[in-house]
Structure 1
Amino acid sequence: MKKNRLKKLGFALGLSSLLFLTACSTKVAESTNLDEKIILRYAYASNSQPIIDSMNEFGRLVSEKTKGQVEIAYFPDGQLGGERELIELTQSGAVDFTKVSGSALESFSKKYSIFSVPYLFDNEAHFYRVMDDQTVMEPIYQSTKDLGFVGLTYYDSGQRSFYMVDKPITTPADLKGKKIRVMQSETAIKMVELLGGSPIPMGSDEVYTSMQSNLINGSENNEFVLVTAGHGAIAKYYSYDEHTRVPDIVIMNEETLSKLSKKQKEAIYEAAAESTNYEKKVFKKAVEKEKTEATEKYAVQFNEVDNQPFQEAVKPLHEQFANNPDFSELFTIIKNHRNQTK
C-alpha cells in the first residue's frame, strides 16, 4: 500500500513538473527567435542503467550540437506512467520523446510486430545488420507518422529468455502448464502457446508481485530484470533459450520535430544515432555486471539451453509472417541479412 502511495505521489509530482515546464518553457510552435532556448520533454519508464545512460547521452549531444539552443528535460522512472501511457503522451505532444519496447508499439503500427517473431535473428550480429540498415528501419519508423509520432533510433535490449520461480526451463516440455508473463503482444502470446505454456500478458511493473503471489510461474526478459528490477529475489532460474531480440525504440512527437529548424532536426537525428553507438559499447559490460550481481546477491542460476526444439515449436509463427502479404517482404529481407557482412 505504501509503495502504491509513493508511486501515485511520484506521478503527481512528475505531472506537476511537466505542466510547469510546459507553461514556462519556450514552445517550439511559438518560437521565432533563433536565440531563444527550446526545452523538449523526454519521459521514460524504469530502465536498466545502460539505457538510462544512453538517453542522457542523447540529451548531452543535442545540447552540444545545438550550442545549448535545444535542451532536454527528463521525466524518468515511470513518473508519467508506463510504456502505453508514454506512447500516448508522445502522440498527443504532452511530451516530445519517449523510449519504449518495440513490442509496445505493435498496437500502433503492425510493422513493429515483426520484432516479436521468435528466432527472427540468428545472433547479435544479424540483429545489428538489420537495425542499422535504414532502408529496412526507416519505413518502420515512419509508419506511425500519421498517428503523431515517428521513430528516431533503437537501443539494443539484448536477448529475451525465460526465468522461473521453481525450476529451470531446458525444453519446451518444461513450460507445459506454466503461467508465463509476456508483453502485451499478440505474437508473444502465440509464441508461449506454441511452446506449451499459458501466456499472461501484463505490464512489467506487475511481474514482481505476480510471481510473489503465484499468479504467474515465471516471465521472459533480458538479464536486467534480475537485479535492476529485483526479480531475482523470487525467480532463481534463468534459462538461455534466447527466443527474441526485441529492440527498444526512441520515438518523437512528429509535430515537434516538424517545427524545428533544419539544423536542429539534423542535431536530433545525429544525436540519436550517436547515442545508439554509445549504448552498444556500454550494454555488454552492463549485462555481465548484472549477471554477477544476480549470482552473488540472489543466487540466481543461469543455464544454457539447446534452443533447436524451441525453434521447431514456433515454426508456425515464421510461416504465418512469411505468408502474410503485409509482412512477407520485410520478413524475407530480414532473413536475408543473416548471410551478409558489414
Structure 2
Amino acid sequence: MANDDIELVRSRSLEGLRQRKNHHNHGPSVASRPFAGRIGGNQEFTLNPSDASFDSTVKRVPDAGTTFTWKQSFSVHAFTDLELWKESICEGVGTCLQIYLSGLYAIGLGDSTTHTSLGPVTPAAFGAIANTFLITLFIYAGGPVSGGHFNPLITMSTFFARLSIFPRTVLYILFQCAGAVVAGFLVRVSLGRPAALFRGVPGCYIDPLIVSPGQAYTLELMTSFVLLFIAFGVGLDPRQRMVFGPALSPILVGFAIGLCSFASGVARPGYSGASMNPARCLGLMAAAENFTMHYVHWAGDITAAMLIGLLYWAIPIYEH
C-alpha cells in the first residue's frame, strides 16, 4: 500500500475515533489549540485545510497548520492574539518550575563532585537520570497548552524549521527567560546561600583558565545539535506518527537530553556539561551574579537551531 493510502486510511480512522468520542461525550470541548511545533506531538495536532475553522485560525496563528511561509511567520498580527499570550505565560511558568527543580539538584550534585571516588562521573550520571525524568514530565504537562518547549533552544529551532512563527518565538523566549531568572533567585532564597556558591552549577559553569571559548562553543554547539537532531526525529517529524505516535515521543526526548547531559558532563575538565537551555543558565548565573562565558550558551544554541532548520530545509518533511 502506498504511503499516501496509508496516511489516508489513518486519517479516516482518527477522524472516526474523534467522531465516536464526540458522540459519547456530551461535555465541553477540550481547549487545546493546534500547533505544528508541539514537542512530542509529531505534528499530529495541526489543523487540516478542510476544517471549517482553518482559515480563521491560520490567519491569527499560521503555525496552527502544517506549513506556512516566511512572510506569514513574520506577520506581527499574532502579537495581538490573546491565546498566544496565555500560551507564552504557560511557557514562563513551566520554565520557572522546571529550572527551580533542576537548580536544586544541580547545586546538590555539584557539591558532591569531589566527594566520590569517580569524580564527576557519579554526579553527571545522577544529573542525567534526573534530567530524563524532568524533561519528560514537563513535556507531558505543558504539551497540550503551549507545546512543552520550556527552552529557548527548542523554540528557536522550531522557528528556523518553520514550525513556530516569529511572534510565538519572541514571546516564548521572553517569558522563558523571565521565568528562569525568577527560578534562579527562588533557588538562592530557598537554600539561603550567597551568590558565590552558585557559580559552579553543572551545565552552566565553564572555567576560562582551562577551557577556551572555542572549545566551549564547539561542545555546546555539537551537544545541542545532537539533542535537536534526536528531538526533531522522535518528537516533531510527522513520519514518526506511524511508528510510535505522540505518547512515546516525550520519553524519547527525555532520554536524549539525559544522554547529552551525561556525555558532556564527564568529557572535559573545567566544563561542567552542556547547557542546552540558555534560559536555565541565564537564571542560575543571574542568581550567582556571574555571567562568565554565558554568551557561549546562546551562541552555540542559536547555531545549532539554525543548522537543524537548514537540515529540514534541505530534506523537507512534506512533498511539494
Provide TM-score, normalisation by structure 1.
Answer: 0.26
Query: Comparing both chains, which one has the higher relative contact order based on Cα–Cα distances under 8 Å and sequence gaps of 6 or more?
Result: 2
Q: As a proportion of its length, which structure holds more helix?
A: 2
Structure with more of its chain in strand, by fraction: 1
TM-score (norm 2): 0.27
